[in-house]
Amino acid sequence: MVRPAGPAPEGWPDAGASSALSGAAERGELARLVDPASPLVPILDAAGCRFLRPLHAHVIGRPGTGRDTMVRALRERLRLTATGPADGAGADADADLWVLVLAGPPRHADHDLLRSAPADRTLVVLGKADTHPDWDTAVAVARRWSTRLGTPVHVVSQLLACADLDDRMFTALTELAAAGAEMPSMAGRFLVGRPGSAERAVREALLRRIDAFGVDTALSLLAEGSDAADAASLNRTLHALSGVHDLAGPIGERVALVRRRREDEIRAELERAAARGLDRDGAERLLATGGVA
Ligand SMILES: Nc1nc2c(ncn2[C@@H]2O[C@H](COP(=O)(O)OP(=O)(O)OP(=O)(O)O)[C@@H](O)[C@H]2O)c(=O)[nH]1
Ligand SMILES: [Mg+2]
């Protein structure tokens, strides 16, 4: 099955029944479908490698919507090959899926971006969900945008999905929670301490890493004495709250489609080889293979 690099997160569905061609490709046995002396062997070996490449998602959206952070979230949490604006023009050439990030009501530019991506392989995400007054509000907003766009809109805080607090930040949060500190409603008021001081620096780092909602959530978790015993477990809790894992379902639903497209790539290679006269009988026999393995 076409899969993300590394072990699949729980919940990746099976891609369904495979044809003889894609079944052999998934087992890494594509070249065994022809005579070992056939000139198709290296072509099928290369096509088989391409077939098994990890699932590739390309992130699009208006500038400032959190696209680069979404790329990181997809790589780190869902183990996808992910690209975005930082990867330059043409980075989507081999993409299987597109992720359109919205951080405000859909505008013309978003409609244009949505039209430019393949409809059946594009997910729309309300990003920066943590900047809404609360998660339920973000979900309600996403529902309204979904009605306007005619496609589901998933709710994600890509920043929380990338939470990587270190021991120094964890200790600062623990001390703040023990002192009964809360996140002020104006995030700027969190930045107490002399500019350049260690206290100010750690507070700035916290806002940069997890922003106001993340700090507020972490303080509540630590004050409640939750099992966030160290930086790593607090990071994991924030990742779990980010909504990014909920993308695994809709991504998984598109895996069968991606697999069919990759099988079409193998067929195109075989057709090119047959046109060049390379083991035409072998190529045509394989091209006639359409049944389920
Ligand atoms: N609160 C919050 N901030 C976020 C989130 N994702 C990204 N940001 C912040 O938004 C800013 C832009 O993030 P990027 O990921 O660089 O977004 P981009 O779309 O690539 O933006 P440009 O590179 O400026 O075009 C940074 O300050 C991020 O920290 C999020 O989920 N929540
Ligand atoms: Mg950026």
Task: Please tell me the distance between residue 127's alpha carbon and the centre of ligand 1 in angstroms.
Answer: 9
Task: Please tell me the distance between residue 146's alpha carbon and the centre of ligand 2 in angstroms.
Answer: 25
- Pocket lined around ligand 1, Cβ cut-off 6 Å: 61, 63-69, 85, 127-128, 130-131, 157-159, 211
Domains of the chain: 1-163+242-293 (3.40.50.300), 167-241 (no CATH)
Ligand nearest the Cα of residue 63 is 1
Give the mean pLDDT of the chain: 92
Task: Please tell me the distance between residue 64's alpha carbon and the centre of ligand 1 in angstroms.
Answer: 6
Ligand nearest the Cα of residue 216 is 1
**Distances 168 to 120, 190, 196, 201, 206 between C-alpha atoms, Å:** 45, 17, 16, 11, 10
pLDDT for 21 equals: 87
pLDDT for 210 equals: 98
Tell me the C-alpha distance between 18 and 16, whole Å: 6
At 241, the amino acid letter reads: L
pLDDT for 31 equals: 95
Ligand 1: residue of 60, 69, 209 to mutate (most ligand atoms within 8 A of CB) is 69
Per-residue pLDDT of the chain (293 residues; tens, 9 = 90+): 444 444 444 434 455 556 788 889 999 999 999 999 999 999 999 999 999 999 999 999 999 999 999 999 999 999 999 999 999 999 999 999 999 999 999 999 999 999 999 999 999 999 999 999 999 999 999 999 999 999 999 999 999 999 999 999 999 999 999 999 999 999 999 999 899 999 999 999 999 999 999 999 999 999 998 778 999 999 999 999 999 999 999 999 999 999 999 999 999 999 999 999 999 999 999 998 754 33
The protein residue with its alpha carbon nearest to ligand 1, atom 32, reads 128
Task: Summarize pLDDT for 193-246 with one digit per residue, the tens.
Answer: 899 999 999 999 999 999 999 999 999 999 998 778 999 999 999 999 999 999
Name residue 82's beta-bridge partners.
57
pLDDT for 9 equals: 42
- DSSP, residue by residue, 150-186: TS-EEE--HHHHT----HHHHHHHHHHHHTT----SS
Number of Cβ atoms within 10 Å of the Cβ of 119: 10
The protein residue with its alpha carbon nearest to ligand 1, atom 8, reads 66
Give the DSSP letter of residue 85: G
Atom from ligand 1 closest to the CA of residue 69? 15
Backbone phi and psi for residue 264, each to the nearest 5 degrees, phi listed first: -60, -35
pLDDT for 117 equals: 96
The protein residue with its alpha carbon nearest to ligand 1, atom 28, reads 66
pLDDT for 20 equals: 82
